[in-house]
Structure 1
Amino acid sequence: MLAVFLTPAYLPFAIAFVVMIGIGLIEAIGLGFGHLDVGADGIEGHDGVLDWLGLSGELPILIWLISLLGCFTLVGVALQQGASALTGAPLGWPLAAVGALIAGGALNTVVANGLARIMPGFETSVISTDDLLRRRGTILEGAARRGVPARAKVVDEHGQAHIVMVEPHDDRTVIKAGERALLVRREGKLFFVLPEDDRLLQSI
């Protein structure tokens, strides 16, 4: 069977199987789960597509990818075995790969949704953009003014640093490089902040 698996007709499925094993080994070593934040900017509004792909739940993206590669490999091998049994020869690898991708993608939707239901307790250090609100950041360069945002570094609850663009919440406030400020609201990718010496923050 191994010799057959290495023939050109089975090549896409052999490659997918090797990639699947490689990703699985990386995860087993403990390098962490890849996770897709489906609530992030740019993905909202595509819930129908995400549902069809099996990506609308809390399933880590690398687990979803392993599942997809597994389904692609299984369907592809089954397709080639069936073709060989019926016609005496497997399909050409491009045709088999396209068929396996379509059928395997459909199968993966079921598998991914099932995996998401049995992994409700999965925890990830990936956070949504709104989780940075009410955290303090440090202006990195220049000065933040209304209409002139500046880059700031914000450290989340997991100790990971994020670079965001900020403007002062108040029109006449200027926050210089090296100063700290509290992120109080967000509009798109832009955060509005209060400087740390603001009287409203003295009791916080």
Structure 2
Amino acid sequence: MLEQFLTVPYLPFTIACVVMIGIGLIEAIGLGLGHLDLDGDVGGDMHGGVLDWLGLGGELPILIWLTSLLGCFTVAGVAIQQVAEGWRAAPLAWPLATAGALLVGGLLNTFAARMLARIIPGFETSVISSDDLLRQRATVLEGTARRGAPARAKVVDRHGQAHVIMVEPHDDRDAIASGSTVLIVRRDGARFFALADDDTFLRSI
């Protein structure tokens, strides 16, 4: 059976399954990427229309939705190829099977996403904007953060969810060593800027 999944007709579904497992591992190790809205506000006027139909109209994190879609696509594709083999003794060509799996898998995911949004608690309170990490304290995990050379840092949001972000010093001439605790004061895109707790500006706070 494993060899069958490595053949060309099944390859798109094998790749989708591997990607799905990879995303699941990212979620499992607690990076929290599925719970951090990195300014991914998709067309507000589409809310209640196409997004609702796709299962994205609620508060389901995008990575959970994508994992569900990949799972539905994989199941639909394998089922289509199995039916084709039973009917005509050979699987369909991969482009035809992929098109069918996208249609069927998309429909299945509409229901799956809505069900996940109902049964998985806490998403409506744990989905945050990246701006919500401002004025929070973080710990530099490794390396020394300098201007133009950010270091990885961990910050825990108000819901207790840990996030790994890239941090640079707020002041150009500062350097923040590994293990230091910092206060996040601003951000530019996905990059955050912080003041070390031993900064003279923070001593009076």
Question: TM-score category by the smaller chain?
Answer: 0.5 to 0.7
Alignment of 1:94-113 (within 5 A): 94-113=95-114
Alignment-mate amino acid for residue 62 of structure 1: L
Alignment RMSD, CA only? 2.9
Cα–Cα, structure 1 residues 84 and 41, in superposed 2: closer, same or farther, change >3 Å? closer
Match of 1:89 in 2: 90
Larger Rg: 1
TM-score scaled by length of structure 1: 0.61
Whether the 8 Å contact between 1:40 and 1:128 is mirrored in structure 2 is no
Match of 2:56 in 1: 55
Match of 1:124 in 2: 126
1:59-108 Cα deviation digits (max 9, x unpaired): 11000000000000000000000000000000000000011001101100
- Aligned partners of 1:84, 1:111: CA distance in 2, in Å? 27
- Aligned partners of 2:116, 2:87: CA distance in 1, in Å? 34
**Unaligned runs of at least 5 residues, structure 2:** 136-156, 159-183, 190-205
- Aligned partners of 2:118, 2:185: CA distance in 1, in Å? 28
- Aligned partners of 2:92, 2:67: CA distance in 1, in Å? 25
Match of 2:8 in 1: 8
Structure 1 consecutive aligned stretches of length 4 or more whose deviation exceeds 6 Å: none
The answer to whether residue 21 in structure 2 is matched with residue 21 in structure 1 is yes
**Unaligned runs of at least 5 residues, structure 1:** 137-156, 165-204
Whether the 8 Å contact between 1:33 and 1:124 is mirrored in structure 2 is no
Alignment-mate amino acid for residue 128 of structure 2: V
- Aligned partners of 1:50, 1:67: CA distance in 2, in Å? 15
Whether the 8 Å contact between 2:61 and 2:127 is mirrored in structure 1 is no
Cα–Cα, structure 1 residues 36 and 80, in superposed 2: closer, same or farther, change >3 Å? farther
- Aligned partners of 1:16, 1:83: CA distance in 2, in Å? 20
The answer to whether residue 186 in structure 2 is matched with residue 161 in structure 1 is yes
Whether the 8 Å contact between 1:24 and 1:66 is mirrored in structure 2 is yes
Match of 2:30 in 1: 30
Alignment-mate amino acid for residue 161 of structure 1: R
Whether the 8 Å contact between 1:84 and 1:90 is mirrored in structure 2 is yes
Say which SS state the counterpart of residue 82 (structure 2) adopts. helix
Alignment-mate amino acid for residue 121 of structure 1: G
Alignment-mate amino acid for residue 16 of structure 2: A
> Aligned-pair distance for 1:34?
1.9
